[in-house]
Amino acid sequence: MSAARSSTISRRKMLALVGGVAGGGALGAVGLPRAGVAQSAMPNFFRICAGPFDSAAYGVAGMLGNLLSSPPGGRPCERGGSCGVQGLIAVALAAESANEVLSMVMSGQAEAAVISAFYLTGAQAKSVRTVASLHSRDMHILVRQDAEIDSIVDLRRSRIAIGIGADIETQVPRSIIRHAKLLGAGQRADVMQIRYGLEALAEGEIDAFFAMLTPPAPLLAERAKSLPLSMISMTEQDIPPDLKSVSDLHLIPGGTYSGVGEASVLVVPRQLVVRADLSDDFVYALTGALWHPQTVKAMAGAGLPYADILPETALQAIVQPLHPGAERYYREKGLIAN
């Protein structure tokens, strides 16, 4: 995560499928594995599916496509060329929904996907394997400061709205609202675009606004300059059972939004997953290319959400098992205990 964001509070379920985390492991200074990949083991095109087209997930897939590629005849990494997998051409493909993203991988129309961990718990995802967690979306629960609401349970029977957008999941806030029994009989949560939800909060039309956002979210940062807001913290008890294996808690520091204090929030990472039948050597090289210092530097310079793609959170909230090639890479670098 970016420097503005604190480290995760809990790494619950992290690496449950592959072993414990070695203390003090770091990936920041490691480079591309030198082991070559046999041409027969490498796909001609490495297709990374995400969606929809105007989403941050698709933008990440496009960025990864550029950085993981190293076409034949290009300059080598050490001479200023790409530090991707030698000989690889990676491209991004768009899909309309998470289900379609997984279907394209399962049907062989794509080799990889950038997708929220939330969608990796179902039967459809059982035959994919994880390369890394990339960036996260944070559960923002916003109220007016003058409402004096201190916890989620204080919102029972309140007027609630959920934020929507091209790349904003509504299933996570719906699950939290159900788990906390916030809505009474016959009561529904409104669904609003982020801009309109913040305006409804300002006008007193709703009491709380739930939205999955990457902080600092530009619309919220601008609105917080004129609207005194508070962000409700979450605890382990506030996390619904269906989210426990795909999420963590972490702190959004005070001051991230003008006048808003720190809050412990639920985060759900987006992950890079691949087909399980890809060769171990290829995925090993791919993982090394992903965490090459030049790749990380390029993402850091591209702003959010790319700057949040960091090796320190590569193994956050892993849902499906690591691909053996990726697992080998992390073990060699000391991030997983042998």
Q: What is the pLDDT of residues 124-148, one digit of tens each?
A: 888 899 999 998 889 999 999 999 8
Q: pLDDT value at position 133?
A: 95
CA 322 to chain centre: 16
Whole-model pTM: value is: 0.81
Measured distance CA(57)–CA(94) in Å, rounded:
9
Q: Note whether 190 and 161 are within 8 A (CB).
A: yes
Q: pLDDT value at position 84?
A: 95
- Do the strands 248-252 and 160-164 form a parallel or antiparallel pair, or are they unpaired? unpaired
Inform me whether the pLDDT recorded for 25 exceeds 70: no
Q: pLDDT value at position 38?
A: 53
Q: pLDDT value at position 23?
A: 32
Inform me whether the pLDDT recorded for 32 exceeds 60: no
- At residue 9 the predicted structure's pLDDT band, cuts being 50, 70 and 90, is very low
Q: Note whether 301 and 254 are within 8 A (CB).
A: no
Percentage of residues of the chain with pLDDT beyond 70: 86
For residue 132, give both structure tokens.
Answer: 């890394």
- At residue 24 the predicted structure's pLDDT band, cuts being 50, 70 and 90, is very low
Inform me whether the pLDDT recorded for 27 exceeds 90: no
Measured distance CA(163)–CA(54) in Å, rounded:
17
Cis peptide before 216 (omega within 30 of 0): yes
- Do the strands 45-50 and 89-94 form a parallel or antiparallel pair, or are they unpaired? parallel
- At residue 179 the predicted structure's pLDDT band, cuts being 50, 70 and 90, is very high
Q: pLDDT value at position 51?
A: 83
Inform me whether the pLDDT recorded for 207 exceeds 60: yes
Measured distance CA(307)–CA(330) in Å, rounded:
21
- Domains in the chain and their CATH numbers? 39-135+269-330 (3.40.190.10), 137-268 (3.40.190.10)
| pLDDT single digits (tens) 40-97 | 555 668 999 998 888 889 999 999 999 999 988 888 888 888 999 999 999 999 998 8
| pLDDT single digits (tens) 279-324 | 999 999 999 999 999 999 999 998 888 888 999 999 988 999 999 9
Q: pLDDT value at position 79?
A: 87
CA 338 to chain centre: 27
Inform me whether the pLDDT recorded for 174 exceeds 90: yes
Q: pLDDT value at position 83?
A: 94
Alpha helix segments (H runs only) across 185-317: 194-202, 218-223, 280-290, 293-300
Among left, alpha and beta (phi > 0; psi -120 to 50; other), residue 324 is alpha
CA 68 to chain centre: 18
Percentage of residues of the chain with pLDDT beyond 90: 66
State the average pLDDT for the chain: 86
Q: pLDDT value at position 37?
A: 59
Q: pLDDT value at position 42?
A: 59
Inform me whether the pLDDT recorded for 168 exceeds 50: yes
- Do the strands 89-94 and 128-144 form a parallel or antiparallel pair, or are they unpaired? unpaired
Measured distance CA(312)–CA(45) in Å, rounded:
28
153 CB-side CA count, 13 A: 3
Q: pLDDT value at position 43?
A: 61
| Sequence-separated (6 or more) residues with CB below 8 Å from residue 131 | 112, 271, 272, 273, 274, 283, 286, 287, 290, 322, 323, 326
Q: pLDDT value at position 2?
A: 44
